[in-house]
Amino acid sequence: MEKEYVQSSNIEAVGYDKDTETLRVWFLNGSVYDYTGVGQLEYEALRDAPSVGSYLHQNIKGQYPYEKVD
């Protein structure tokens, strides 16, 4: 999955697989999480948000299943 680097105090990059509707988030602390069932428009809104961290917290976390990637 291709990384798209973002301006954030908490998030390094985001990526998206449209075939599986999986959003991947790389955090600056080294953690990586996959969120499933995320539509492409939702991904683009996250990527382009003025505050990527705030958008993730308000619109992705708690709304989509997720798992930590090793």
According to the model, what pLDDT value does residue 70 have?
A: 82
pLDDT of residue 44: 97
Domain ranges of the chain: 4-68
Contact 17, 1 (CB under 8 A): yes
pLDDT tens digit string along 37-47?
A: 999 999 999 99
Q: Give the pLDDT confidence of 6-38 residue by residue, as tens digits.
A: 999 999 999 999 999 999 999 999 999 999 999
For 2, 7, 50, the CA distances from 66, given in Å and listed in that order, are 19, 22, 23
Which of the four pLDDT bands, split at 50, 70 and 90, describes residue 60?
very high
